Amino acid sequence: MEDPDALLAAGAAALGLRLTDEQRAALLRLVAELAEWNGRFNLTAIREPADMVRKHLLDSLAVHAFIAGGRICDVGTGPGFPGLPLAGVNPRRRFTLVEATAKKARFVEHAARALALDNVEVVNARAEAWRAPAPFDTVICRALGKLHEFVRFAGHLCARDGRMLAMKGQCPGTELEAVPRGWRVVAVRRLEVPGLDAERHLVELARA
């Protein structure tokens, strides 16, 4: 069986990230917590620790370079992706993780405490019904839905000159043509996730 720690260390290095021993330990703790809670609450279909490292940790960290600003919001974070890994490696940025389902939000709260992440706030709400105290510089999502839904749910959370980042598998061709009025596609980037032989794209939106 593959060693999760070695996978994470090699993967992070391939992404150009220098993780401290503490950061690596915290990320592995996240995998352990998720595996434990998964037995009771079925939070993710991904069950093997090595798979969790690739598909949850490294996949989340692959967008690290495109996060901008001090206030970041992860919409529909589920069990905490990409928000928790990104918060773990960006201690100076503040992350707000929004999740509609109570049991998932509870896990994210628990994990943030277990990992001693004091830059994470969890909001158990539907994003479209939640009003943030201040707008966010980067609003990000993974596997939330189509681009127009992301904008509908969370566009109001994005600062005037902020960015909306949607993590996608294949390049979402038709969705790009259906970006809602008032928004424009700034970039579509192809991402490489170390150890994952699958297409990944990051769509960046800004106000038109």
In the list 128, 146, 172, 185, the residue contacting ligand SAH (rule: CB under 6 A) is 128
Q: Which of residues 40-99 bind ligand SAH (CB under 6 A)?
A: 75-78, 81, 98-99
The angle formed by the CA atoms of residues 112, 154 and 57, to the nearest 5 degrees, is: 35
How many other C-beta atoms can be found within 10 angstroms of the C-beta atom of residue 20? Answer: 10
Instruction: Write the interaction track for ligand SAH spanning residues 1-40; mark x where CB under 6 A is met and - where it is not.
Output: ----------------------------------------
CB of 105 to ligand SAH, least distance (A): 9
Q: Which is nearer to ligand SAH, 3 or 33 (CB)?
A: 33
Residue 43, phi then psi, degrees to nearest 5: -90, -25
CB of 71 to ligand SAH, least distance (A): 18
Does position 143 bind ligand SAH by CB under 6 A?
yes
Q: Which is nearer to ligand SAH, 18 or 42 (CB)?
A: 42
Residue 2, phi then psi, degrees to nearest 5: -75, 145
- Beta bridge partners, 144, equal none
Q: Which is nearer to ligand SAH, 99 or 137 (CB)?
A: 99
CA separation, residue 120 to residues 44, 131, 154, 174, 200 (Å): 21, 17, 18, 34, 26
Does position 200 bind ligand SAH by CB under 6 A?
no
Question: What number of chain residues touch ligand SAH (CB under 6 A)?
Answer: 17
- Beta bridge partners, 167, equal 142, 202
| Distance between CA atoms of residues 159 and 166, nearest Å | 16
Does position 153 bind ligand SAH by CB under 6 A?
yes
Does position 101 bind ligand SAH by CB under 6 A?
yes
| Distance between CA atoms of residues 141 and 87, nearest Å | 14
Does position 155 bind ligand SAH by CB under 6 A?
no
Does position 127 bind ligand SAH by CB under 6 A?
yes
Cis peptide upstream of residue 4 (ω within 30 degrees of 0):
no
Q: Which is nearer to ligand SAH, 22 or 189 (CB)?
A: 189
Tell me the three state secondary structure of residue 78: coil
Does position 150 bind ligand SAH by CB under 6 A?
no
Answer yes or no: are the C-beta atoms of 63 and 165 closer than 8 Å: yes
Binding site for ligand SAH (CB under 6 A): 75-78, 81, 98-101, 104, 126-128, 142-144, 153
